[in-house]
């Protein structure tokens, strides 16, 4: 029996500083294939090449991945500043309306880091350009140097709402995660429920209230060693179950709060 297709939203990169490509991280592909038991397909992050209706007709779920460019602040009514970093308006133009369409119809989505922020903005929320500059907040960026293992090392706890969606999916009220982001949620979008936070109060886990399908998103990077990590595996497994259900003609939301 054919595995369901999960679309992985790619990012634009330059090879040798001159050859433009749409690319996605191997970690995301591994997680979708190994844990979700689905067929990973990279989606070009450019609305001039892909149609949302076509994508939704073919895919049983989407992973909105991390990426160095940030969501353009004009998408949440603010002017860009140097602190906002680099942008990718093509990805904005695809990801934001695709998220809204998936939420409306119940097609499963999983947001990761930038994807987490995209979900919030797509639902009308806003972002801080730099979490570490806020009073009382920690530096959530990855170490600038070191190995991949050091950059993706577990660095802070995330506490979930007691009896909430993430608590039940993870089977724990608190987990340890990596952290590799500069921006973060300022104002949650409409229906965006912050279900997990870092010790400094930074939102780390969200879902969409009342959505008919799976809408979990996290600010950390669960794709790292997803098949063996006790925090990443249940998240991708739950997402995979929702994608398999969609492919079978069913709609399966994430677990509801007790």
What are the catalytic residues? 113, 221, 223
226, two tokens: 């997803």
The two structure tokens encoding residue 170: 């993870």
Q: What angle do CA 249, 63, 145 make, to 5 degrees?
A: 160
């Amino acid at each position: 029996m054919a595995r369901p297709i999960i679309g992985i939203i790619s990012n634009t990169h330059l090879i040798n500083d001159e050859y433009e490509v749409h690319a996605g991280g191997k970690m995301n592909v591994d997680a979708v294939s190994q844990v979700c038991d689905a067929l990973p397909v990279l989606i070009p992050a450019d609305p001039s090449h892909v149609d949302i209706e076509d994508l939704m007709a073919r895919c049983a779920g989407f992973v909105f991945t991390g990426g160095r460019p940030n969501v353009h602040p004009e998408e949440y009514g603010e002017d860009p500043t140097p602190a906002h970093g680099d942008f990718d308006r093509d990805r904005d133009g695809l990801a934001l309306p695709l998220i809204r369409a998936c939420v409306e119809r119940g097609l499963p989505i999983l947001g990761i880091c930038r994807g987490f922020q995209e979900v919030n903005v797509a639902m009308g929320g806003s972002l801080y350009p730099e979490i570490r500059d806020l009073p009382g907040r920690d530096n959530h960026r990855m170490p600038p140097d070191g190995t991949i293992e050091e950059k993706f090392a577990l660095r802070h706890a995330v506490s979930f709402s007691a009896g909430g969606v993430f608590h039940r999916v993870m089977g724990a009220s608190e987990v340890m995660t990596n952290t590799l982001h500069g921006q973060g949620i300022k104002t949650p979008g409409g229906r965006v429920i912050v279900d997990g936070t870092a010790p400094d109060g930074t939102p780390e886990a969200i879902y969409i209230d009342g959505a008919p399908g799976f809408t979990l998103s996290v600010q950390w990077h669960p794709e790292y060693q997803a098949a063996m990590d006790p925090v990443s595996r249940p998240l991708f497994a739950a997402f995979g179950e929702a994608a398999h259900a969609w492919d079978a003609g069913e709609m399966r939301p994430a677990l509801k709060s007790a």
